[in-house]
């Protein structure tokens, strides 16, 4: 996508200048700049907290947070100011652990902005463990944020459909997170069934991976592992942070994004009988979604915080 004045006739003579922003600040246009390429990735959504209930009852884990969306613009440097304000908002808050009750929903990831011309949108928070339903948050799209119920524009369909924009959420409590191309991967759902672990976070080719769904315990007190987070630089394969094994074991944090890619999703906490559920792993810097917390006796595990977004700026002279 080209913004501002058309670039015909611009001659690039020197190698690029590169700056990366992981927190808010000010970008100063380098001398003799001709072309400026700006990459933004929004912050990831927080994982939902696990449910806390008495032994002998179903205790659901929380859904994973959705990843932030990616935007890439190329500017004629003459159309930009001598300085531009950089805003990097935080990743979504962790869903609170359920205390003899449902887990809290994870927070939506914050947007990141380059001046007033470009935004990277945040991913949706995962739903807290409750009853038999704890879906993952929607991944953000290139032109819209995710939510707990849908992915961001340009593709905000229900989560069983993968999209090239924001991946949708899971659409139920037994589905992996949808994957995206430029949009962030959706969070994985917590699973009520006794037949296996919860669902993995969705991947993204260019942006961040969604958080894994939290492990739970069934009414027979069978403990289930948390699921892995989704990967960046991936579509149908790969994984982010590892899920916590069955029991009071935390999920692993997602790795930070490198080069032009987003961060990985955090792994989810394991479900625990006779103990507090495992905490969800933090999403990787570069918009990875936080992992869901595991269900537990009396108290569930807290969800993982969403990974902070970033802005990368390349200047050509």
Condensed to tens digits (0 to 9), the pLDDT of residues 135-181 reads: 788 888 777 788 877 777 665 444 333 333 345 444 345 678 888 88
Q: Which residues of the chain register pLDDT less than 50?
A: 1-9, 156-166, 168-172
φ/ψ (deg, to 5) at 70: -110, 140
- List b or e across 125-144, with b for residues whose CB sees 16 or more CB atoms inside 10 angstroms: bbbbbbeeebbbbbbbbbbb
pLDDT of residue 185: 84
CA angle at residue 299 from 188 to 54, to 5 degrees?
Answer: 105
pLDDT of residue 287: 96
Quick check: 47 and 186 in contact, CB under 8 A?
A: no
**Nearest Cα to Cα of residue 308 among 79, 100, 68:** 68
Residue 78, helix vs strand vs coil: helix
**Nearest Cα to Cα of residue 169 among 193, 143, 142, 134:** 134
pLDDT of residue 176: 80
- Whole-angstrom Cα distance, residue 74 to residue 315? 10
Burial class (CB in 10 A: 0-12, 13-18, 19+), 117: middle
pLDDT of residue 4: 43
- Which residue carries 């759902």 as its tokens? 189
Residues contacting 97, CB < 8 A, separation 6+? 49, 50, 52, 103, 104, 276, 277, 279, 293, 296, 299, 300, 301, 302
Chain centre to alpha carbon of residue 104 = 17
φ/ψ (deg, to 5) at 77: -60, -30
Quick check: 71 and 114 in contact, CB under 8 A?
A: no
Residue 141, helix vs strand vs coil: strand
Domain map (residue ranges) of the chain:
13-317
**Nearest Cα to Cα of residue 141 among 70, 77, 209:** 70
pLDDT of residue 169: 47
The Cα diameter of the chain in Å comes to: 72
């Amino acid at each position: 996508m080209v913004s501002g004045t058309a670039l015909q006739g611009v001659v690039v003579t020197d190698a690029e200048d590169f700056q990366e922003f992981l927190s808010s600040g000010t970008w100063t246009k380098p001398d003799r700049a001709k072309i400026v390429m700006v990459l933004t990735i929004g912050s990831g959504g927080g994982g939902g907290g696990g449910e806390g209930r008495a032994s002998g009852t179903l205790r659901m884990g929380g859904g994973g947070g959705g990843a932030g969306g990616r935007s890439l613009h190329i500017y004629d440097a003459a159309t930009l100011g001598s300085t531009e304000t950089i805003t990097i908002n935080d990743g979504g808050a962790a869903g609170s652990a359920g205390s003899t009750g449902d887990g809290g929903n994870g927070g939506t990831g914050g947007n990141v902005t380059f001046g007033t011309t470009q935004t990277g949108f945040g991913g949706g928070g995962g739903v807290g463990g409750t009853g038999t339903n704890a879906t993952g948050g929607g991944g953000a799209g290139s032109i819209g944020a995710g939510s707990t119920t849908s992915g961001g524009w340009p593709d905000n369909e229900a989560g069983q459909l993968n999209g090239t924009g924001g991946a949708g959420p899971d659409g139920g409590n037994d589905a992996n997170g949808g994957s995206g191309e430029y949009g962030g991967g959706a969070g994985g759902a917590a699973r009520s069934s006794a037949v296996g672990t919860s669902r993995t976070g969705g991947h993204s080719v260019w942006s961040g991976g969604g958080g894994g769904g939290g492990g739970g315990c069934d009414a027979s007190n069978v403990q289930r592992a948390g699921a892995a987070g989704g990967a960046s630089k991936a579509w149908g394969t790969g994984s982010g942070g590892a899920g916590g094994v069955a029991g009071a074991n935390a999920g692993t944090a997602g790795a930070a994004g490198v080069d032009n890619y987003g961060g990985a999703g955090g792994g989810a906490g394991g479900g625990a009988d006779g103990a507090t559920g495992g905490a969800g792993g933090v999403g990787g810097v570069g918009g990875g979604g936080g992992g869901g917390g595991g269900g537990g006796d009396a108290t569930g595990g807290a969800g993982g915080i969403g990974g902070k977004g970033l802005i990368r700026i390349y200047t050509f002279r």
